[in-house]
Structure 1
């Protein structure tokens, strides 16, 4: 009896059906390392601001892979040379580009593992998977690292106009309900081309690029750098810091086995072994949330209060200004907080703190977005555009925040 091959499909709310083009990709998606991404939130603590923002890194990885399939098809139609091995490498690389994220994504990037970015962890996961798959990911790793001789392949995965950014802007806009971030990803991909080995956008797509850069700026100020999200993420970082101290004192802090390991051990680039990678692969948002639920009842005042603040969304007050708060005013607020809660100099730093946030929609020094003009010249989008705001978008805007308990300051 004849058998037919079944298509592997995922039904996505953004793009509709996402097709998995080969069995090896589906094997990667089925791997426990990748399935963990179902339990890693895409936007960290932003769900405390935008109730719909509960989508995961799993959603985003599949969406990015779908856009990469479109990009490969468009570039091949324009007679850009992409071999079958390179096409597979692109799909593997973009699928796994965020596999190194820890619980709550960026919120805890350096809280559990010191000095190792999620990109470095993604590479470690890819290298481990490459061993399991007998070298199947070798080209993908070259593309991800930027060592592949065809520069544009890496640009499709990691640049200022890559499939990662095209998906997360559109996806995060959809789930937060912030319409300003809704970009026309299909139009941008259709306008892609390659000149002298580098990715460019054809002149007809310049307005889509402008919209993309403006959307990035809006999404950072309105969503990614929303003041409530900032204070929630800072509290989460401080919860983990306090948990380390409490665990060091008595060693009996309730936590899952993998979380307890990272609380008890200082892990950095120098001692990050394959065994530790395996422990890290067991960590997700569930470990943190279950720990917070237990820690809210802990006798340590700092640990319990910070845990309650996050769980009950009774956060610190946060003020965001264009200028940094004066040391005199900052010291006064700390002093008031110490008196109100009977805190030591060390403990008050968990409740009163300040910092800075930056927004730069377009980094011209890092890697330009080049426009292919009708005369076959390529020119930076900020120079090619008649939109005066684009030059301003390449400048870093810095704002300063201060957080403190609402009841301690009159």
Structure 2
């Protein structure tokens, strides 16, 4: 008997909005076996890293049931000839609702990290436990009559539901492997868990839900996918197919999966926390007992074999078989964490100490990771032997314990090395019943060529710095011996810790912007860390020259034409010899950086090889240009662009250049050297060769130092300044501010200063 819409129950979900579920699903939700999912974190230990990752398997399962029903109903409406019955849709919804019943505490941490170590011989997946839990749920709550009442045939529909929870991989030429439905409804097995290509409603919900709670962007639109799905027949099987134009949307889905794993699921701190929780559970595996069927006590390591113990909500736990039962309720949920943490039992002391380190944020130390596409057992064993050597050197009294953890982290699109879209079928607008595949080279040239990568990560469990440094050294030795690139930082702008007297070994900076000593991996001293200024200069070069600088190991860069005022600073920063290169203090005190501002970027002293340790040089240069303007001398932009003889000329000094000036009164005479703006006051005080007496006076008659000690009233402050000479937008540009100094000095001069900064 089919249920009427009046019997449906409405759930307000933050992802899918108001959703309606039929009474049979509500009946399943209201069982203790399903309610336990409220207390199992969807993202395991990620909640200890991302505060928003507090969502649970409970709401995820309801969301999957909703999407499963929506997809099945859409196919029924779109293609009535496939005879999709209400019983089919109801079974698909139940499978979506119950597909995660077999998850233990902290979701995949329990079945993916704890169980393989606690019981290495046990190869079952959480889907196997979900099937046993579903059978237990139906039996304990006497749901058989309810199912028959809602039109299900128990002789085949129960099998159909369990087969959809954990479907097998279909292979052409082999007999049909299922009993719940015949081959003509093979597409129904692709809705909840699609083993062929991974495109299923389980992923639709957890991508949207995880991104929502983690604060990340979900680029996949599952509602659009539902609108463009059809069923097509391929080699005797019927498959769910997508519209050909949706191939990019599907690639976005798998890219979202990769981003979620890289940024959250496989986050190095998240895996660190999960590793510590796993260690605590391993310490407590024989101390915690659960009351199972028949009143027998079941240990944590054998909990998946007894569904009564697995779901016992009011059972009591004890620390060993012989001790008396405590009056504290135990659940097979994430609260196991709290049970251990609050315990006073000596049998749980070691597990408790590990969990206390988590809540006090005293985590295992991250040694490093290295990319390795083929992390064989031999490689891992050799790495472990190196770490044992480090442990023996630093901790000789603790040889009986292992203080490190080596893990292999896999990042892929869900099908290991394979492109999942290769197993997906599409249809076109003009031939909606014909399925075909789309080769990757026909989709885009920007898609990845490799769909899987593996990292070897090393964690150190002690907190002393000596043993940690020993582990890092041995890890680097192992990397060299195995041909792996050393674990290095390769992001522009990353900081580094250094100690006086030691050399920095860490790669810092992307190759296009890295200093020569970084590109060729030459250790440098942290107290003169000039690779950072080189990287800043590469950005300045891109701005001045309008193209990427590229890796430089020899000083062979071409100069821009026309030259920028920044060329002098660029020359100084791009000095290959580290001891001659400008430091960040030199840059902060350079005239080009401080030009026209009342306040200097930095009042710190420059390096010893710079003769002007004070940032007042910028004010001196500003004064010099005011004097030049008072003498009716200015730079004519049109003159520079039209007269090739007056283009900027290279200077013999490596750190500055000369910009010719035209005298309005001198009939085109050029004053070379008046604007040779050097980095030191002493150099600017040297008389320059000039074409007339005015230039001689200007270059030799310098005011005393006190003249520059106070900021000029004509000089603007730092930042964008709204003032009387503002532009049309209400804010003046830096060139407008500089030009205003000349115009205010000589109001009758119609020639503006040309500043090619």
- Normalising by the smaller structure, the TM-score range is 0.7 to 0.9
* Residue aligning to 2:285: 244
CA contact (8 A) 1:173 1:182 kept: no
- Seen in structure 2, the aligned counterparts of structure 1 residues 56 and 226 have a Cα distance that, compared at 3 Å, is same
Partner residue in 2 for 1:204 = 245
The whole-number CA distance in structure 2 between the counterparts of 1:23 and 1:199 is 28
**Is 1:174 paired with 2:204?**
no
Counterpart CA distance in 1 for 2:201 and 2:354 is 37
From the superposition, tell whether residues 334 and 201 of structure 1 become closer, same or farther in structure 2 (CA, over 3 Å): farther
Cα distance, 1:380 vs structure 2: 4.7
Shift of 1:29: 0.9
Q: Does 1:46 align with 2:32?
A: no
1:289 aligns with 2:340: no
The whole-number CA distance in structure 1 between the counterparts of 2:125 and 2:52 is 27
Once the two structures are superposed, residues 218-259 of structure 1 have per-residue CA deviations (whole angstroms, 9 ceiling, x without a partner) of: 1111111111111111111111212236x3xxxxx6x7657x
CA distance in 1 between partners of 2:334 and 2:143 (Å): 29
Distance 1:337 1:79, change over 3 A: farther
Alignment of 1:11-90 (within 5 A): 11-20=12-21, 22-79=22-79, 81=82, 82-90=84-92
The superposition leaves residues 148-175 of structure 1 with CA deviations (integer Å, 9 ceiling, x where unpaired) of 3322111111110100001001100110
* Aligned counterpart, 1:370: 425
**RMSD across aligned positions (CA):** 2.8
Aligned residue for 1:250? none
The structure in which a higher percent of residues are helix is 1
Shift of 1:12: 1.0
Alignment of 1:225-240 (within 5 A): 225-240=266-281
Alpha-carbon distance in structure 2 between the residues aligned to 1:67 and 1:360: 25
The answer to whether the aligner puts 1:158 opposite 2:193 as a matched pair is: yes
Residues 88 and 140 in structure 1, CA contact (< 8 A), matched pair in contact too:
no
2:178 is the counterpart of 1:141: no
Q: CA deviation at 1:215?
A: 0.8
Cα deviation, residue 391, structure 1: 4.1
Question: Is the 2:341–2:352 contact (alpha carbons within 8 Å) kept by the matching residues of 1?
Answer: no
Secondary structure of 2:10 counterpart: strand
Q: Deviations over 1:148-205 (max 9, x none)?
A: 33221111111101000010011001101122x3521111222222111111111121
Instruction: State how far apart, in whole Å, the 2-side matches of 1:406 and 1:382 are.
Output: 48
Q: Of the two, which has the highest radius of gyration?
A: 2
Distance 1:362 1:37, change over 3 A: closer
Query: 1:287-326 maps to which residues of 2 (within 5 A)?
Result: 287-294=335-342, 298=346, 302-318=350-366, 319-323=368-372, 326=383
What is the TM-score normalised by the length of structure 1? 0.84
Q: 1:142 to 1:387 in 2, by over 3 A?
A: same
CA pair 103-182 structure 1, distance change in 2 beyond 3 A: farther
SS of 2:342's equivalent in the other structure is helix
Separation in structure 2 between the aligned mates of residue 231 and residue 353 of structure 1, nearest angstrom: 10
Q: Structure 2: 5+ residue runs without aligned partners?
A: 145-153, 168-177, 313-330, 373-378, 470-757
What is the match of residue 455 of structure 2?
399
Q: Residue 406 of structure 1: CA displacement?
A: 3.6
- Tell me the equivalent position of 2:97: 95
Aligned to 2:533: none
1:354–1:9 CA distance, 2 compared to 1 (3 A): same
Aligned to 2:127: 119
Cα deviation, residue 336, structure 1: 5.4
Q: What per-residue deviation string (whole Å, max 9, x for no partner) do you get for residues 27-85 of structure 1?
A: 01111111110011100000111100010000101111121222123212221521111
Point out where structure 1 has 5 or more consecutive residues left out of the alignment: 248-252
Query: Any conservation in 2 of the 1:243–1:263 contact (CA below 8 Å)?
Result: no
Task: Tell me the residue number matched to 2:398.
Answer: 343
Tell me the CA shift for residue 285 of structure 1.
Answer: 2.9
Shift of 1:308: 1.4
TM-score, normalization by structure 2: 0.47
Between 131-140 and 149-158, report the one with greater CA deviation: 131-140
Distance in 2 (CA, whole Å) between partners of 1:381 and 1:104 is 39
Distance of 1:296 and 1:322 partners within structure 2: 43
* Deviation digits for residues 255-283 of structure 1 (CA, Å, limit 9, x no counterpart): 7657x944366467xxx3xxx11111134
